[in-house]
Amino acid sequence: MSDKVFVTVNGKDKLEIEKGTYIYDIAKDYNKYYETDIMLAKSGNILYELGNKIERSMDIDFIDITDKDGLRVYSRTLSFVMVKAIKDLFGIETKVYIEHSINGNLYCEVYSDKTEIDQSFVDKVKKEMQKTIDANMAIKRLMVTTDEAIELASKYGMEDKARLLAYRRISYVSVYKLDDFYDYYYGYMLPFTGILKVFDISLYENGFLLRMPSEKSPHSPETYDNFEKISSVFMERLKWCKLMDVKCVADLNDIIAEGGFEELVRVNEALHEKKIANIADQITDRVEKLKVVLIAGPSSSGKTSFAQRLCVQLRANGIKPHAIGIDDYFLDRDRTPLDADGRPDFESLAALDLEKFNHDINGLIAGEEVIIPSYNFVTGKRRIDGRTLKLHKNEIVVIEGIHGLNTELTKGILDENKFKIFVSPMTQLNIDAHNCISTSDSRLIRRIVRDFKFRGNSAERTIDSWPSVRRGEQNYIFPYQETADVIFNSATVYELSVLKAFIVPLLYKIDKSMPEYVTANRIIKFLDYFLCAGTEAIPNNSLLKEFVGGSVFNV
């Protein structure tokens, strides 16, 4: 039997190699063709770690940091090195929490009797990490029984991981070993620490930012502008999680298993309602000058349900709101601009009739009666169906759409007449202390479920369009989030346990021949950590009902 196999790299170079050759031994000869060192290999829409051995003939394409999957591997490996450095410096019992991502950087907190988070702490951790990186230490992936993994997690003071693993339905799991330190991570790792060439650490809030490169800036750490309003929402998230006794997936699973799911839903929904009522009060305090409430946010944020819940609270305050959708000002589809791929770019501000929009809103502010158009998404045409609107005392316009905060949208409207709200589901819980849940993934899961249920789109189609949606958000939505008067976190701590039952059957329809399989497979594996929960306990005015059905609102 031959010990030779053939590997075709990037569709052109056919190599004859020894069976059992590590992928990184091939990748090192191709780093020069990429913007950064190679992070992963892909073959037939399946991802492979560089530490995998090649046992058969196959085609391989390499991935570097300029690809999201490559960046995930870099971020995860750097986190591993960081956690080890802190435990080596301050003791194995030190608790390290990677809380969330801010502009591509990871916000972390540390709890230890032996140190406080100051510049000296940051300098020590950075120096210790650099020492590990300079040593180009091997990171080994080991298959162990689930019971062994639980024992390792407990040994290193990571009880959240031990509890999470107790819910796994498989006999064996992968753990990673760096020197004498073990940890469990969701996703792939690099085989050597020396590949981590770019990072920094900076003090931030109550902890620090682990700064790393990005797809667009792979050779330097991401900036860390003080996103004061976004940061305050994430800190509020930590407070809410404490109130609900849910910080990680194991906590959520415990509540479901012990019959506490209904109460959890009630508390979470009460926190949402209280926040929305507070926003309505702020608007009421300024109603003499306010004429327009602008609600913006990325795809699948629950903007429509939020807008209608806000309108209910405004009515309770004696204010009569009138809802207008920015989408009703879309240009006819044959006039829609195209994106870089030649597809209609519905995320672009240029897809809207800005002149008509500003004319109508300024007319309303001036006390005129205005004819409001509507847009038919089936025909791709804007139409006039006789709806008129005129504002009277204690009446305002509530405008919802992805471009609500873009200054170009409302450049003809005085700032004193506007109240701006940014809505986004900033994930409330993490898998465990060292594995965050991506806000983008949470929104994609919401959108797949909604698009299938209400728009007849397959999961494959939604995943295929997601990169275009994300580009539009980066260009037209996120740059304006800090200009909002208020930011509302529309995530619910329980939603992934509910959405799991809806989305997993859809994702299983995507097979390995489809390019969308990489994303589908990653989400399936990720959701396997969650116990399922039903929709019966969810009130019909919940933002989540916008995605699973049964909402009292017209969404």
Mean pLDDT computed over 310-326: 94
Determine the CATH number of domain 4-60: 3.10.20.30
β 388-389/370-371 pair status: antiparallel
CATH C-level class of 228-548:
alpha beta
CA distance 114 to 93: 10
pLDDT at 340: 76
pLDDT at 476: 85
The CATH architecture to which 69-211 belongs is 2-Layer Sandwich (3.30)
* Residue that has been written with the tokens 């990072």 in this structure: 199
Phi and psi at residue 248, to the nearest 5°: -135, 170
Question: Whole-structure pTM over 0.85, yes or no?
Answer: yes
pLDDT at 1: 52
| pLDDT surpassing 90 at residue 227 | no
Domain boundaries, the chain: 4-60, 69-211, 228-548
Query: Percentage of the chain surpassing pLDDT 90?
Result: 75
CA distance 296 to 488: 10
Tell me the two tokens of residue 112: 């230890």
Dump pLDDT digits (tens) for 439-468.
999 999 999 999 999 989 999 999 999 998
* Residue that has been written with the tokens 């300029």 in this structure: 66
Higher pLDDT, 49 or 156: 49
CA distance 366 to 389: 12
CA distance 152 to 149: 5
Higher pLDDT, 226 or 419: 419
Under DSSP, is residue 140 helix (H, G, I), strand (E, B) or coil?
strand
**Which amino acid is located at 234 in the chain?**
F
CA distance 555 to 544: 11
* Residue that has been written with the tokens 């020396």 in this structure: 194
| pLDDT surpassing 80 at residue 225 | no
Dump pLDDT digits (tens) for 199-220.
999 999 999 999 999 998 999 9
Tell me the two tokens of residue 252: 């959520």
H helix runs in 245-353, sequence order: 249-257, 261-285, 303-316
CB contact set of 93 (below 8 Å; sequence gap of 6+): 112, 157
Detail the DSSP E strand segments found in 304-458: 320-325, 370-371, 374-376, 381-383, 388-389, 395-400, 418-424
CB contact set of 32 (below 8 Å; sequence gap of 6+): none
Among candidates 279, 285, 490, which has minimal Cα distance to 398?
Answer: 279
Least confident of 75-79, 222-226, 244-248, 462-466: 222-226
Query: Percentage of the chain surpassing pLDDT 70?
Result: 100
Q: What is the mean pLDDT of the chain?
A: 93
Beta carbons of 299 and 423 less than 8 angstroms apart: no
Beta carbons of 555 and 277 less than 8 angstroms apart: no
Beta carbons of 177 and 185 less than 8 angstroms apart: no
Under DSSP, is residue 358 helix (H, G, I), strand (E, B) or coil?
helix
| pLDDT surpassing 90 at residue 104 | no
Dump pLDDT digits (tens) for 159-206.
999 999 999 888 999 999 999 999 999 899 999 999 999 999 999 999
| pLDDT surpassing 60 at residue 372 | yes
CB contact set of 264 (below 8 Å; sequence gap of 6+): 244, 246, 252, 255, 493, 494
Beta carbons of 109 and 122 less than 8 angstroms apart: no
Question: Kindly report the CA angle at 376 between 375 and 381, in degrees rounded to 5?
Answer: 80
Half-sphere exposure of 471 (CA within 13 A, CB side): 13
- Which is it for the CA torsion 465, 224, 491, 493, positive or negative? positive
Beta carbons of 408 and 354 less than 8 angstroms apart: yes
Dump pLDDT digits (tens) for 319-355.
999 988 898 999 998 898 887 778 788 878 899 999 9
Q: Is 142 exposed, middle or buried (0-12, 13-18, 19+ CB in 10 A)?
A: middle
pLDDT at 168: 87
pLDDT bucket at 7, cuts 50 / 70 / 90: very high
CB contact set of 120 (below 8 Å; sequence gap of 6+): none
Half-sphere exposure of 153 (CA within 13 A, CB side): 24
pLDDT at 2: 64
Half-sphere exposure of 378 (CA within 13 A, CB side): 2
Q: Round the CA-based radius of gyration of the chain to a whole number and report it.
A: 25
pLDDT bucket at 532, cuts 50 / 70 / 90: very high
pLDDT at 414: 86
Among candidates 199, 208, 201, 214, which has minimal Cα distance to 107?
Answer: 208
The CB density around residue 471, as the number of other CB atoms within 10 Å, is: 16
**Which amino acid is located at 523 in the chain?**
I
Of 29-43, 406-420, 459-473, which one has max mean pLDDT?
A: 29-43
Mean pLDDT computed over 279-294: 94
